[in-house]
Amino acid sequence: MKNYKLNQISSIVNGTLFGDENVIINQIFFDSRMIVHPANGIFFALNGNQKDGHQYIEDAYQKGIRNFVVHEKLEHFANANFILVNNPLQALQNWAKYHRKQFNLPVIGITGSNGKTIVKEWLNQLLWKNFSIARSPKSYNSQFGAALSILQITEKNNLGIFEAGISLPNEMEKLEEIIQPTIGVLTKIGEAHLENFENQDELIQEKLKLFTHVEKLVFNIENEKVYQAILENEHLSKIDKFSYGYSDFATVKIEHIESSLTNTEISILHNQEKFTYSIPFTDDASIKNSLICLTTLIALNVDYKLIKEEFSLLLPIEMRLEIKEAINHSILINDTFNSDLNSLRIGLNVLNQQPKEKKSLVLTDILQSNLSDKDLYQEAANLVNAYHFDEIVLIGEKITLFKNLFQSYVRSYNSTEEFLEQFKHQNVDNEAILLKGARPFKLEKISSELETRSNDSVLEINLQNLVENINVYRSMLRPTTKLMCMVKANSYGTGSFEVAKTLQNNGVDFLGVAIADEGKELREAGITIPIIIMNPEQSSYSTVIDYQLEPEIYSLRVLKLFIQKLQEKQISSAYPIHLKLETGMNRLGFHEDDFDELVTILKNNSQVYVRSIFTHLATADMPEEEAYAKYQLNRFDKSYESITKALDITPIKHALNSPGIVAYKEHQYDMVRLGIGMYGYSEYTDFMEKYLKPVVRFKTVISQISELEAGETVSYGRRFTAERKTRIATLPVGYADGIRRSLGNGKASVGINGKLAKIVGSICMDMMMVDVTDISCKEGDEVTIFGNSPSIADVARWLETIPYEVLTSVSQRIKRVYYKE
């Protein structure tokens, strides 16, 4: 921004200056949260929706701002300069009007109900090589957004592109005075915002006020009301008009439009000459917006034939930066749309607001600039150096030449590929990362490495909720009761390592897995706490011993075999084992008539020691079977007593699984074994709803939406027939992903945008279809197979099974993604 002296601003806005006249101002702030480098900044205390801008003065002052435009005198702010005005917004606007008058350049003023920002951005994409453009940042088109935009104009610019947006009658006049457009562009007039206007005619009249002094006007000739209004307008009827449409009177006459799957070819006639261009979009709005752009190029006297190529490269615009969860608890901000200094400034600001101590930046060559490389990268470095970065990655042959300008720790690469070759996931750790780069650098390759949820279909595991659930169970136990967590079957399908690591970090005493190989994997991944193998196969004893896993021993035969293995391996110290007692489950375990021999063997053997004795309840989750549970617990008490007395030992005693903890916590003994509960499910639904949080969500996205007429059918075997006009969404998951085929044909539903959509027709191997006729949704929208709604319990009910089976059935080809909130 251009330099202004404080007294100059004061006289432009007709204010009263208190303080130092000669302070130089070249930055404007209105949101105190956005202040990073306050030097030469002035803060406008603008009134927001409900808030008086004066409320933020304190914060702005704390952040180093010393210059203010206010409507009340400032007291108690040492060394603050302020300009007192009646209305700070009006002052800003007056300053902008004055500023605009200093420059004699073509200014395109864009208004309309839809498409203002996209047309502005596309014009920039088409023209940045030909002009040095000043334009509205983002969608800054309001009463103060337009003023701020205009104040960005500098001597270097030779074209301005600004948008004007209104929501109330009589706003446009002020915007016209601020922007002072010389070329008017009218985009689509829709029904939007009509609520504040009497009717569409009034809306059109209001919009046309932006063009009160333009020399040229660009519009769609097909909108008869607009065309009529223009012809009847005193000023507009006389100026040069540039229109597009099918009419023979159109400057750009549409000859032919043909869309393929991804592109549209548009042929037009201008000055009797045919011209064909292509855009990488197929929707109607994009086609019209491209025609507006083309017509505007003609109004600007730009030879559009020379930039035919640019049309085929037009990019969609992201109005907001994408902020995504990334690996290792990081946050990713993706900004690869624009490649200029202004968007770098915005991106840095957003990054600065992320709640992470550690911040990193990936920055490529900046393409959209007319500055010399030296000036460009010096300015970029100035912006970047205002922040603290733990690491900066520079990518591109140009920017790397200037790496010495950047103050943080810098690594530089000539290409994205070169960077990715050495990229290691482990090096990313709990940080906020800004990816800021030009399209040709394909930073999306980096973002897909960093994103946790790049896959369409994933099983999301919320480790934070897992920990909270564990703490709920812990709170029901005595402080001395040990906690064993069951991570068998890949942690009930959620993936063993991440869950096990979380458990280990949270002070869990034991982990339980089903087979030795699961234990081995955990050891190899760095799990060091005791791991019990619940069902060790004879052939795996070697693995058990080699990886210091602790076997469940459930029979005399198994005990003898295991001791034999220890002897074979010449293990001299006593090896921990866990005795499983049969008390009523009739699955595995020592029976009472085994006890004598069991005691004899253990007495005469120093190769093993009994670390724990346990049993398992058959009906812990069934209140109606309380008597049976009590019978089991009673039998267990007696058995434990008989064995430990005979051996004179006191091993850890345990019996309860998750529902057991809820129902029989007086029998928690020395340890409990928590399984499904930590994943957020309990058969005791009151308890679950009150205390547990869902941990697992199976989600996917809509691949395609089709419109069916009544009578049309869906999927193999035509088992669904549309009874009315029906919208069908196809999802990219099927029975090979663990969605059981029996859920099809109306049996089950999935969640889309807060509503349930019935699965219709037969579920296929990799796909399934759902009825979204009554749900507002589009292709690419997220779909919940299970999670909050439907819940795992709902799916279990539809399948006539239990949540355990639903959880463990999700196919391994579905990526597991972990996050903490």
Ligand X SMILES: *Cc1c(COP(=O)(O)O)cnc(C)c1O
Instruction: Round to whole Å and give the CA distance between 74 and 80.
Output: 8
Q: Which residue has the tokens 């005198």?
A: 73
- Site track 415-434 with ligand X (rule: CB under 6 A), x = hit: --------------------
Instruction: Round to whole Å and give the CA distance between 817 and 127.
Output: 42
* Runs of H (alpha helix) within 33-82: 57-62
Nearest C-alpha neighbor of 394 from the set 359, 427, 333, 441: 441
- Residue 616 binding ligand X, by CB under 6 A: yes
Q: Which residues have C-beta within 8 Å of that of residue 486, sequence separation ≥ 6?
A: 492, 511, 512, 513, 657, 673, 674, 675
What burial class does residue 320 get, using C-beta atoms within 10 Å of its C-beta: 0-12 exposed, 13-18 middle, 19+ buried? Answer: exposed
**Cβ distance 787 to 494 under 8 Å?**
no
> Nearer Cβ to ligand X, position 116 or 616?
616
**Cβ distance 578 to 551 under 8 Å?**
yes
Instruction: Round to whole Å and give the CA distance between 592 and 599.
Output: 11
Instruction: Round to whole Å and give the CA distance between 269 and 324.
Output: 45
Of residues 501-560, which lie at the interface with ligand X (CB under 6 A)? 534
Side chain identity at residue 524, one-letter code: E
Question: Which tokens is 664 given?
Answer: 């029989």
Active site residue 716: yes
Question: Which tokens is 220 given?
Answer: 């769609």
- Residue 578 binding ligand X, by CB under 6 A: no
Which stretch in 181-189, 408-416, 497-505, 673-681 sits in contact with ligand X by CB under 6 A?
673-681
Q: Which residue has the tokens 């337009």?
A: 146
> Nearer Cβ to ligand X, position 209 or 488?
488
Give the residue at shortest CB distance from ligand X: 675
**Cβ distance 763 to 735 under 8 Å?**
yes
- Provide, rounded to whole angstroms, the least separation between the CB of residue 776 and ligand X: 38
Active site residue 98: no
Which stretch in 110-118, 141-149, 519-527, 657-665 sits in contact with ligand X by CB under 6 A?
657-665
> Is 587 annotated as a binding-site member?
yes
Q: Using the rule CB under 6 A, which residue among 66, 138, 209, 673 binds ligand X?
A: 673
Which stretch in 16-24, 174-182, 672-680, 788-796 sits in contact with ligand X by CB under 6 A?
672-680
Q: Residues 2, 374, 690, 716: which is the catalytic one?
A: 716
> Nearer Cβ to ligand X, position 188 or 488?
488
- Provide, rounded to whole angstroms, the least separation between the CB of residue 283 and ligand X: 49
Q: What is the DSSP letter of 194?
A: G
- Provide, rounded to whole angstroms, the least separation between the CB of residue 796 and ligand X: 14
Q: How many CB atoms lie within 10 A of CB 422?
A: 9
Q: Using the rule CB under 6 A, which residue among 67, 149, 543, 657 binds ligand X?
A: 657
CA of residue 174 relative to chain centroid, distance: 38
Count of residues near ligand X by CB under 6 A: 12
Q: Using the rule CB under 6 A, which residue among 243, 612, 658, 700 binds ligand X?
A: 658
Complete DSSP assignment for 425-460: GGG--SEEEEEE--GGG-THHHHHHHBS--SSSEEE
**Cβ distance 292 to 310 under 8 Å?**
no
> Nearer Cβ to ligand X, position 216 or 488?
488
- Residue 676 binding ligand X, by CB under 6 A: yes
- Residue 667 binding ligand X, by CB under 6 A: no
- Residue 486 binding ligand X, by CB under 6 A: yes
Q: What is the DSSP letter of 553?
A: E
- Provide, rounded to whole angstroms, the least separation between the CB of residue 631 and ligand X: 18
**Cβ distance 740 to 765 under 8 Å?**
no
Instruction: Round to whole Å and give the CA distance between 819 and 327.
Output: 8
- Provide, rounded to whole angstroms, the least separation between the CB of residue 48 and ligand X: 52
Which stretch in 57-65, 199-207, 637-645, 674-682 sits in contact with ligand X by CB under 6 A?
674-682
> Nearer Cβ to ligand X, position 9 or 663?
663
Instruction: Round to whole Å and give the CA distance between 668 and 655.
Output: 7
**Cβ distance 657 to 719 under 8 Å?**
no
Q: Is 557 helix (H, G, I), strand (E, B) or coil?
A: helix
> Nearer Cβ to ligand X, position 398 or 665?
665
Which stretch in 193-201, 627-635, 637-645, 655-663 sits in contact with ligand X by CB under 6 A?
655-663
> Nearer Cβ to ligand X, position 198 or 626?
626
Q: Residues 488, 520, 580, 699: which is the catalytic one?
A: 488
Q: What is the DSSP letter of 574?
A: P
Cis peptide before 790 (omega within 30 of 0): yes
- Residue 675 binding ligand X, by CB under 6 A: yes
Question: Which tokens is 212 given?
Answer: 């009160």
- Provide, rounded to whole angstroms, the least separation between the CB of residue 518 and ligand X: 12
Which stretch in 68-76, 102-110, 199-207, 653-661 sits in contact with ligand X by CB under 6 A?
653-661
CA of residue 693 relative to chain centroid, distance: 21
- Residue 653 binding ligand X, by CB under 6 A: no
- Provide, rounded to whole angstroms, the least separation between the CB of residue 559 and ligand X: 18
> Nearer Cβ to ligand X, position 100 or 673?
673
Tell me whether strands 458-462 and 482-486 are parallel, antiparallel or unpaired: unpaired
> Is 719 annotated as a binding-site member?
no
- Provide, rounded to whole angstroms, the least separation between the CB of residue 807 and ligand X: 10
> Nearer Cβ to ligand X, position 288 or 488?
488
- Site track 345-384 with ligand X (rule: CB under 6 A), x = hit: ----------------------------------------
Which stretch in 26-34, 202-210, 341-349, 656-664 sits in contact with ligand X by CB under 6 A?
656-664
**Cβ distance 67 to 22 under 8 Å?**
no
Q: Using the rule CB under 6 A, which residue among 677, 738, 790, 803 binds ligand X?
A: 677
- Provide, rounded to whole angstroms, the least separation between the CB of residue 694 and ligand X: 16
Tell me whether strands 81-84 and 531-533 are parallel, antiparallel or unpaired: unpaired
- Active-site positions? 488, 716
Annotated binding site: 587, 765
Q: Residues interacting with ligand X, by CB under 6 A? A: 486, 488, 534, 616, 657-659, 673-677
Annotated binding-site ranges for substrate: 587, 765
